[in-house]
């Protein structure tokens, strides 16, 4: 016996029920979206739920600051860069920064008071150092950076500071690709800070940035061209803040219970290997320097920390000289030196690092 076909009234009732359900879902979603938008615009509440491990937290905090009238970048000397996201402005002259320190850059944004020509001086060795804010020298003047101090310690050696605050290894690789054909360095050093590896996972940090993902065919670049601050801010309201909150919660869980650290290590391995490979292809000898910062300076045991072990193993596999500076800092701490563990290095830390790097370059036979 077959069931009788539904009557028109039954079909109409089902359609009405579906419509009511859809409207209810739409209303709930709109309410949640409205609540999410209010939440992320409230800085004190956003600060409680944000973390340094996901791009949504960085992006939402940047939007709130920018909406409040702050400069779109971290510093007044930052400029937009369509490939790297942001860069140090060129032709900065004696700018007061960091509470009384001095900043100068040349016509291409390299830190220092001298103009650096593309062609090096005959008879000199040229060292290019890539890195983040510690290499750049946030909180110190031009002549207090370890890059400048290394040059003073090594006659006949020219040291170029390609550090940019907030950079990950991904942006350093892109900068290296720009710089190598122009400057032809003899030695390429990477100033490695543990946080740089985390930044490789982000699409937004100090501002929108490029990012790589590892694929079978190698590293695949995403996020370029990077939009300007005005373009980014104009497009941002179209996104879902509810989705941002879900993403932030998901990232917290993945960092705590998932394999995010494993993913970070694999991506960092691929990017650093590319840096070493491309430096060699350009005729330069690569090296890497592990810069101890923040809580790492409070560890009294000079034995390698897990993050240091990871980079040291990578460098050994690639045949790249690797200097861990933390044992030098530990030894000085035993003698009574007190190091900066919360902010960026002071001139003291830069001078100590410069001495260690100069000795390292001599021991490795990279400089006379």
pLDDT number for residue 118:
97
pLDDT number for residue 291:
98
What domains does the chain contain, in order, with CATH numbers? 90-227+259-363 (3.40.50.1110)
Q: How many residues does the chain have?
A: 368
Q: Provide the H-helix boundaries in 258-346.
A: 260-281, 306-318, 326-334
Check whether 357 has a pLDDT greater than 80. yes
Residue 141's pLDDT band, with cuts at 50, 70 and 90, is: very high
Check whether 1 has a pLDDT greater than 80. no
Report pLDDT digits (tens) over 254-278: 988 988 999 999 999 999 999 999 9
Least confident of 249-253, 304-308, 332-336: 249-253
Check whether 2 has a pLDDT greater than 70. no
Report pLDDT digits (tens) over 84-134: 999 999 999 999 999 999 999 999 999 999 999 999 999 999 999 999 999
- pLDDT more than 90, % of the chain: 75
Can you say whether the dihedral through the CA atoms of 196, 202, 205, 209 is positive or negative? positive
Q: 302 near 330, Cβ under 8 Å?
A: yes
Can you say whether the dihedral through the CA atoms of 106, 110, 111, 115 is positive or negative? negative
Check whether 183 has a pLDDT greater than 60. yes
Greatest mean pLDDT among 60-74, 176-190, 238-252: 176-190
Q: Model's pTM, two decimal places? A: 0.92
Least confident of 11-25, 128-142, 147-161, 250-264: 11-25
Residue 4's pLDDT band, with cuts at 50, 70 and 90, is: low
Coil, strand or helix: which one is 13? helix
Q: 316 near 322, Cβ under 8 Å?
A: yes
**Chain mean pLDDT for the chain:** 92
Q: Which residues contact 343 (CB under 8 A, 6 or more apart)?
A: 139
pLDDT number for residue 232:
92
């Amino acid at each position: 016996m077959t069931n009788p076909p539904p009557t028109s009234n039954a079909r109409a009732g089902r359609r009405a029920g579906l419509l009511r359900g859809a409207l209810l879902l739409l209303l709930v979603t709109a309410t949640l979206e409205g609540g999410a938008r209010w939440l992320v615009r409230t800085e004190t509440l956003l600060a409680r739920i944000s973390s340094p491990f996901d791009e949504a937290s960085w992006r939402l905090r940047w939007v709130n600051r920018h909406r409040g009238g702050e400069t779109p970048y971290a510093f007044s000397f930052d400029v937009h860069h369509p490939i790297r996201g942001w860069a140090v402005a060129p032709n900065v002259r004696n700018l007061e920064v960091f509470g009384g320190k001095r900043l100068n850059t040349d016509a291409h944004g390299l830190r220092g008071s001298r103009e650096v020509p593309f062609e090096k001086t005959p008879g000199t060795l040229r060292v290019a150092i890539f890195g983040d804010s510690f290499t750049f020298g946030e909180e110190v003047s031009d002549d207090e950076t370890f890059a400048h101090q290394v040059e003073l310690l090594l006659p006949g050696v020219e040291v170029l500071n390609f550090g940019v605050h907030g950079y990950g290894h991904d942006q350093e690789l892109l900068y290296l690709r720009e710089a190598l054909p122009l400057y032809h360095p003899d030695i390429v050093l990477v100033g490695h800070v543990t946080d740089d590896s985390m930044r490789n996972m982000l699409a937004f940090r100090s501002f929108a940035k490029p990012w790589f993902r590892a694929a079978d065919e190698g590293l695949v670049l995403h996020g370029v061209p990077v939009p300007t601050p005005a373009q980014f801010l104009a497009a941002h309201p179209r996104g879902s803040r509810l989705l941002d909150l879900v993403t932030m919660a998901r990232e917290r869980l993945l960092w705590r219970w998932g394999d995010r650290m494993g993913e970070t290590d694999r991506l960092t391995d691929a990017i650093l290997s590319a840096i070493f490979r491309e430096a060699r292809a350009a005729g330069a000898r690569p090296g890497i320097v592990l810069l101890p910062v923040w809580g790492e300076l409070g560890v009294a045991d000079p034995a390698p920390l897990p993050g240091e072990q990871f980079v040291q193993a990578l460098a050994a596999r690639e045949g790249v000289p690797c200097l861990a500076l933390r044992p030098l800092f530990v030894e000085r701490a035993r003698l009574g030196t007190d190091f900066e563990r919360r902010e960026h290095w002071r001139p003291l830390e830069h001078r100590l690092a410069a001495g260690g790097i100069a000795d390292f370059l001599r021991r490795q036979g990279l400089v006379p």
